[in-house]
Structure 1
Amino acid sequence: MSQTSSLPGAAGAVAAPRRWWTLTTVALAQLMVVLDSTVVNIALPSAQTDLGFSNGERQWIVTAYSLAFGSLLLLGGRLSDLIGRKRTFIIGLIGFALASALGGAAGSFGMLVFARALQGAFGALLAPTALAVLTTTFTVPKERARAFGVFGAIAGAGGAIGLLLGGFLTEKLDWRWNLYINVVIAIVAVIGALVFVKTVPREGARPRLDVPGTILVSGALFSLVYGFSNAETDGWGSGLTWGFLAAAGILLVAFVLWQRRAAHPLLPLHIVLDRNRGAAYASVTIAGAGMFGVFLFVTYYLQTSLDYTPIRTGLSFLPMIGMLVLAAQLSTNIFVPRFGPKIMVPFGMTLAALGMFLLTNLGVHSTYAANVLPALMVLGFGMGSIMPASIQTATLGVDRGHAGVASAMVNTSQQVGGSIGTALLNTLAATAAANYLTSHVAGATTTAARASIAAEAAVHSYATAYWYGAAFFAFGAILAALLFRTKSDTAARAAAAASLHGAGAGAGAGSGTGSGSAEAPEPVVAH
């Protein structure tokens, strides 16, 4: 097979057999990783009661996972390029399942934290590999769009599905089943991987792992995630917060400088410097930061202000999931091919900002049907327009040898966005609640009056988070509109690159395929 035909979307691409079963397998793996963040959150109160850890220690159940996951994503993506995607995919599934089983059986706080860190490490191996498998399996443009529509819907809706599943498992079974469920999913996915995921032979020489680059970027991402996590608990005035964030900045600069001279860079800079891909990564980051406000603060509002049970809270997000799936399918099959990401991503960002604005009107006596439901449906449609277009563009046209690390950048962007959203929105909400109580509690002379003011303060803090979430999405709409290329410009560049590649094919015959040959055909894409 020629180099050109192996590229996603390239002319002459041949559809892989049993590719839709491969999509099902990859979707299961992605769902397992994405829902894990919220499904465990629902289980935290029950786990805390059972294992007896403090409120201060509770955050480490979440932080241990996010630190390992966020800091090792680029390494995980590169390993899939080096040792093979099928092998890496199966190792990630088995490791994630074993770590989940260890967490479910944990008899102490320390064991649970250790298991969560292991989950994060294997999740960092699994998540980018799953996307890379999808990228290299679906090479026919129309089918690729459909596959990425499904993948994008799962990436956007996984958190809400986790709330629903976590509520059911916690209420009906036991908090430990929020971890054991991963074992069941992983067994099915491993069988699917063994049967349906094809082993792709390597083209050209096998590159070496960039050890200095791996150390630099893993340290940078660890410091970044830890810095924002520490800001959530200790505040923005903490020296530890700013120390880690400063270290992250220094290490990232050192990583970029090293990538410019490394013989086998961990993250070839042309991947992120491509204008469309850079815009896609930025859009995923902003969407991740903004969506945190929906899952966290709407969950708080439903359970504390409207007294919903965990199961009822999860069910309340179902209309949002439905709208997200609908929008994802419409976008990938109709709108993105016609208008391109330059139209669809800003459109989705604008809708999401509108949904956040609607949530700012929630009060203590609001109702779900009249006030919460419309906002969630608008948000769902907005996210369904953002994620598939962004994820597909982020991996489109990447050489097969770099598909893993390009896919890892998608997950890294989402993880960093979530960490930023967690720290910023939680801090802003806590400050707003404290200020509201300070200015109103003086006039409360009875217990009932103080309780009423406390309830109003909580709702006011949620509204503050929604306003900032709306600002995130509004900024994302402007940035996406400016950065993404127009569909006609992208098509013209692709045609020119294809013409140049075709003209140089004869001259390049017999030149061999060394490690640097992956760079040349990279622009041959069909957007």
Structure 2
Amino acid sequence: MNRQAVWTLVVVSAAGFMAGLDNLVVTTALPAIRADLGGGLADLEWTVSVYTLTFAVLLMLGAALGDRFGRRRMFLTGLTVFTLGSAAAALAPNIGALIAARAVQGVGAAVTMPLTLTLLAAAVPAAKRGVAFGIWSAVSGLAVATGPLIGGSLTEHFSWQWIFWVNVPVGLALLPVARAKLAESRGENPRLDVPGTVLVSTGLFGVVLGLIRGNPDGWTHPLVLGSLTGGGLLLLAFVGWEARWARQPMLPMRLFRSRAFSAVNSASLLMFLGMFGSIFLISQYFQGVGGYTPEQAGLRMLPWTGMPLLVSPLAGLLTDRIGGRPLVVAGLALQALGLAGFAVAIDHSAGYGQQIPVLVVCGIGMSLYFAPTANLVMACVRPAEQGIASGTNNAMREVGGALGVAVLSAVFSARGGYGSAGAFTDGIVPALVVGAVVVAAGSAAAALVPRRHGMRAAVKVADHPRPAAVPAGRS
């Protein structure tokens, strides 16, 4: 990779780490936040959920804005908003102000995150993208998975405000580097698809809101039923608008006629459903049943959550040589096997030493998924469409994560609860089995990607002219 590609990789990976980290970084700090700012259970739930909500809802809008107004320009805008939101969260005088600041963080992350992959694809030659995507994926996956550990450590040794303050110097350092080192590029559509943007954003808002509130409010609650139904209908209307009436659609429906594009996005949705929901419950298992502090629980998750740092770059290198399909299929199969193995270990009261091997299997599986998937998504489309392809895949992941927490928590609540260690075990075992089945279905979906698609498509993409770029430092 040339120097600009390396700088791009550093900048977008750091930005992606911050955005991914804030998905779960707050979870282990909630008791400290409540003691300091007050608020009820619903307020604490919204402190976590509002970030996921705004992040998931606006991802495709962020990608579309980058295509329309310039990807580097919107990346800088999103990074600025995220940094300001982080500072506002750290300075929040009450729980309401904290929730509002978390929403601002989500807006900034939604604009920034899909553009990280697009900017990286534009800067790195097609033959080297597997390695670059492997590093980017390792950092992004590590951020999501280690959120509870980092949040617990900062809260335990400093204060809960530091889970937000830590973003501020990083954001301030990245902004001038991004402006100087990133090249500007745009998508091929000069106009923003306003009706499509409104339909997909409001539709995703309804679906994600319903998923978030399903367990605490009840799945038959009018808000939940109305949100899920209304959101689903709006998304159907979005599909109809994009397919029939939009002159310049933000998400061309013809992309889904590609078996590879449909299969990769289906696999991403199922992977995050099983993985995100499982991490949510397992981190609580170590604390509630194992009796560990948040930091200790996070450390015991490292055989799983730290594995992307070791395996994802190697997976990226293999992607360049053998294609992404076999790696994604194998990775999701291993992730499913690991989740099922962890459920068996818990059910037989196995100690932590016996749990380590299945955690390692989960980590290897997750690592093999991340890098090749990023490469496959970018290779499915033409360079001018990579922004919206990235936004679509990120939206699938976030919706999958919200769905995973909702579904696995519902299974957990139906079979167990928080009343005792035994009740927790009774609930988490079937929940992890469901998670394993879902991830296995993701492996089957990934198997539908045409053989060696990643290698062939990468060559095809390399033959296309890149989108018009403006030298770094200019608009």
TM-score past 0.5 threshold: yes
Q: 1:220-369 alignment to 2 at 5 Å?
A: 220-260=203-243, 261-334=245-318, 336-360=319-343, 361-363=345-347, 365-369=349-353
1:133 maps to 2:96: no
Give the structure 1 partner of residue 64 of structure 2: 78
For residues 74-119 of structure 1, the C-alpha deviation after alignment (integer angstroms, 9 at most, x for no partner) is: 1100101111111111111111000111011111111111111111
CA distance in 2, matches of 1:229, 1:488: 35
CA distance in 1, matches of 2:267, 2:324: 10
Give the structure 2 partner of residue 484 of structure 1: 449
**Shift in Å, 1:300:** 0.9
Q: Unpaired runs of 5+ in structure 2?
A: 468-475
For residues 18-59 of structure 1, the C-alpha deviation after alignment (integer angstroms, 9 at most, x for no partner) is: 211210111000000001111111211111111110112211
Query: Compared with structure 1, are the counterparts of its residues 494 and 110 closer, same or farther at alpha carbon in structure 2 (3 Å cutoff)?
Result: closer
- The letter of the residue matching 2:368 is S
Moved more, 262-271 or 395-404: 395-404
1:121 maps to 2:107: yes
**Shift in Å, 1:16:** 5.3
Q: 1:113-512 alignment to 2 at 5 Å?
A: 113-141=99-127, 143-200=128-185, 207-260=190-243, 261-334=245-318, 336-360=319-343, 361-363=345-347, 365-371=349-355, 373-433=356-416, 454-481=420-447, 483-487=448-452, 491=456
**Shift in Å, 1:365:** 4.9
- The letter of the residue matching 1:287 is M
Query: Compared with structure 1, are the counterparts of its residues 338 and 234 closer, same or farther at alpha carbon in structure 2 (3 Å cutoff)?
Result: same
Asked whether the equivalents of residues 81 and 403 of structure 1 are also in contact (C-alpha less than 8 Å), the reply is no
CA distance in 1, matches of 2:326, 2:179: 39
Q: Unpaired runs of 5+ in structure 1?
A: 1-14, 438-450, 506-516, 519-527
1:64 maps to 2:88: no
Moved more, 162-171 or 411-420: 162-171
Larger radius of gyration: 1
- The letter of the residue matching 2:17 is L
DSSP 3-state at the match of 1:237 = coil
CA distance in 2, matches of 1:278, 1:287: 14
Q: 1:83-98 alignment to 2 at 5 Å?
A: 83-98=69-84
Asked whether the equivalents of residues 220 and 251 of structure 1 are also in contact (C-alpha less than 8 Å), the reply is yes
Query: Compared with structure 1, are the counterparts of its residues 241 and 208 closer, same or farther at alpha carbon in structure 2 (3 Å cutoff)?
Result: same
Moved more, 219-228 or 286-295: 286-295
**Shift in Å, 1:195:** 2.5
**Shift in Å, 1:272:** 3.4
- The letter of the residue matching 2:450 is R
CA distance in 2, matches of 1:471, 1:239: 30
- The letter of the residue matching 1:51 is L
For residues 112-161 of structure 1, the C-alpha deviation after alignment (integer angstroms, 9 at most, x for no partner) is: 111111111111101011111111111231x2110000112123221222
- The letter of the residue matching 2:338 is G
**Shift in Å, 1:363:** 4.8
**Shift in Å, 1:164:** 2.2
DSSP 3-state at the match of 1:37 = coil
**Shift in Å, 1:494:** 8.4
Give the structure 2 partner of residue 508 of structure 1: none
Give the structure 2 partner of residue 513 of structure 1: none
Asked whether the equivalents of residues 267 and 405 of structure 1 are also in contact (C-alpha less than 8 Å), the reply is yes
Asked whether the equivalents of residues 160 and 314 of structure 1 are also in contact (C-alpha less than 8 Å), the reply is no
- The letter of the residue matching 2:390 is S
Query: Compared with structure 1, are the counterparts of its residues 469 and 109 closer, same or farther at alpha carbon in structure 2 (3 Å cutoff)?
Result: same
Moved more, 300-309 or 160-169: 160-169
CA distance in 2, matches of 1:176, 1:103: 8
Give the structure 1 partner of residue 27 of structure 2: 41
DSSP 3-state at the match of 2:248 = coil
1:105 maps to 2:91: yes
CA distance in 2, matches of 1:16, 1:264: 34
Query: Compared with structure 1, are the counterparts of its residues 290 and 488 closer, same or farther at alpha carbon in structure 2 (3 Å cutoff)?
Result: closer
Moved more, 458-467 or 358-367: 358-367
Using the size of structure 1 for normalisation, the TM-score is 0.83
DSSP 3-state at the match of 1:38 = coil
CA distance in 1, matches of 2:173, 2:288: 37
CA distance in 1, matches of 2:67, 2:453: 32
How many residues are paired up?
464
- The letter of the residue matching 1:166 is G
For residues 229-262 of structure 1, the C-alpha deviation after alignment (integer angstroms, 9 at most, x for no partner) is: 1112122232322221111221111111111221
CA distance in 1, matches of 2:395, 2:184: 25
CA distance in 1, matches of 2:56, 2:166: 23
Using the size of structure 2 for normalisation, the TM-score is 0.92
Asked whether the equivalents of residues 260 and 380 of structure 2 are also in contact (C-alpha less than 8 Å), the reply is no
Asked whether the equivalents of residues 19 and 137 of structure 1 are also in contact (C-alpha less than 8 Å), the reply is yes
Query: Compared with structure 1, are the counterparts of its residues 58 and 487 closer, same or farther at alpha carbon in structure 2 (3 Å cutoff)?
Result: same
CA distance in 1, matches of 2:458, 2:279: 39
Aligned CA RMSD, in angstroms, stands at 2.4
Query: Compared with structure 1, are the counterparts of its residues 308 and 363 closer, same or farther at alpha carbon in structure 2 (3 Å cutoff)?
Result: farther
- The letter of the residue matching 2:30 is L
CA distance in 2, matches of 1:299, 1:419: 16
For residues 323-373 of structure 1, the C-alpha deviation after alignment (integer angstroms, 9 at most, x for no partner) is: 223321222212x334433322121111011111111121585322222x2
**Identity of paired residues, percent?**
34
